[in-house]
Structure 1
C-alpha cells in the first residue's frame, strides 16, 4: 500500500513521542502492516521517505546491451533465438523474448519492410527521373494523371487480419479470417490526379493485357477522365500529362502513337521497380483497407464494393497524395536512388 508523506510523518512523530507500533495502529491512521513497515524503515535509515521497490533485477548490463545491439547490426537477419545463444556466450542468460525487448528499447524494429529489389539500372533510372523533376512543385504534379493496375483478393487483400480478443476466443467467428485454397482475384485499372479519382474499371477475368486491350482501356477510361478533370485545358498551354509505368504494352508504338493523336503528353520515362514514387500505390492501399473492412464474400460483392469505395475517396485524399510528390523525389535523391518511405 502506498502512503502519503503526511501519514508517514504522523506515524514517525507518534513514534518519537514514545508510542509503540501497537499504540499507533490503534489510531487506525494506516493498516497495521504499513505502520510497522514505516517504523522499520525509519529505524534502519533514519528517514521517513519510502524505499523504492527494487523490482526484478535486470539480467544484462548496459555494456552487454550494447554488445547485443552491435551483434544484431552486424547481421540484420539474425533471429532473436540465435542472438540469445550468442549473448549467453557473453555471460547473459536470457530468453529470445528478452532479446526482442532489449532491441526494441534500442529502437531496432524486427519486421523488415517489403520493397522491390533494385538493380543498378533501376537505381540509375530512378536518379535520372528524380533529377529531371527535382524542381517540380505540388502544383506541377497536380497536372499529372497517375495510372496503374492492381489485384484485389477475396477474403483480404493484405492476407492477414489483426483482432483484439479475449482468451479462449481465438476461433470465435468474429476473430477468424476465412481462407480458401485458390482465392478469387479481381484486377482493376484506375487513374487519379489532384482533382480527385478518375475512372476505374474491372478487367475481364483471364484477359491478357496486350497493346490492343490497353488502347481500349485508355480510350474508354482515360479519355473521359481527362475531359471531366481538365476539360478544355487539355488543349491549351497547360494540358495534363499522363503517367504509366514501363510495362511492354504501355511502351508499344501503337500506344505511343495513339496518345500522340489524342494530344496526350506522357510523363518522362517511368523508372522500373518504383511503386514508392507512384502515389496511386497509396491510393490502392486505402481502397483495399476500406473494401476489406466490409468482408466481401463473393466476386460480385467484391466488385461492387471496389467501385463503391473508389467513388467515396475524397478529393482531399487525392490532393494530399499528389502533394507528397516533391518529398518523394527529394528523398530518393538524398538516398542516392534507394527506396523512400512512401
Structure 2
C-alpha cells in the first residue's frame, strides 16, 4: 500500500492529485461553465508538465478531461443567435405587410411597440413635405420620409415633394413616430406606397385648335405652361404673333398620342393655318414639308402679298416701295417709285 506523500510535497503534483484535477473538471463545469473551463486548463498543464505518465496516457487524460467538460455544458440554441434575429426580422416584415394602416415603411427605422396601438396624427396627405414635417415635429413626432414611388429616389429639396402616404408608430423608447411617403410635386400618387406612378397619357389632339389642345395638355396636371410650345407644321411657314394663332390646327404632337407625360416632358404642338391642311409626312425633305412658294422667297403663297415677286414678301413691309429712285426726294416734289405695289 503506497504511503501518503510527505507534508512538504505538493499534493496536486502527485498522480492522485493530477487525477483529482481531471475529475474536478466536470463537477465544477456543472456549477459554472467558465470555472470548469479554467480548471480544465489547469488540469491539462498538470498532465503535461513534469508528469511521469507515458505520452499515450497524457493524451487520453487530456481528451477525457475535455470530453467530461463538454458533456456537462448545455448546448446553444439550435440555429444560433443569427437565426433568431432573422426570424424576428421576418416576423416584423410580415407584420408590416399585413398592417391595416398605410403601407409606408416604419418611421425612422425603429421597431414599434407591439403592445401599444399606433398614435393618432392629423392627416398630412396633400401637404408639401417640408410643411408636413414642420407640423408633425411640432406635434411631438419623430419624422421619417421616403419616395412613395417605385423609383426610390433620394429626397433632397422637400419643398418640391408632396405627401401621399403616412404611417405612425412608437419606438421601444416610447417616442411617437410618423413616416411620410412622398412624390415630386405635380406627380400623381401611386395606388399603394412603393408602387408605380400612373402618368397621364398624351391625348389625341390632331386637327384640334391650338386653344383647345393647349387646355387639354395643361389639364393633365403635369406640364407647366413653359413646357408647352407651338411650332409650325410646315418648314417654310411662320406663326403669327402670340395670341393670333388660337384657331390654327394641330397636325403633329411631340410626344405622340398615348405616350407618358411626366414632370420632365416638354410638349410641342405643330400647327397649320386651317386653310392649308396638314402635310403628308412622305412629301417633305429633312423631315419637314414646305408649302407652295412660287417666287421662292421663303414666304408661302397663301400669305405672300406678292407671290410672283421675289423682292416683295410679308417681311418686306407690305411691299413698301423703295424711295431711292425718286427724283426730288423728300416730301415735297418727290414721288415714290411704286408701280405694282398696293401703295399706288
Give TM-score, length-normalised by structure 2: 0.21
Q: Which has the higher contact order (CA 8 A, sep 6+)?
A: 1
When normalised by structure 1's length, the TM-score is: 0.21
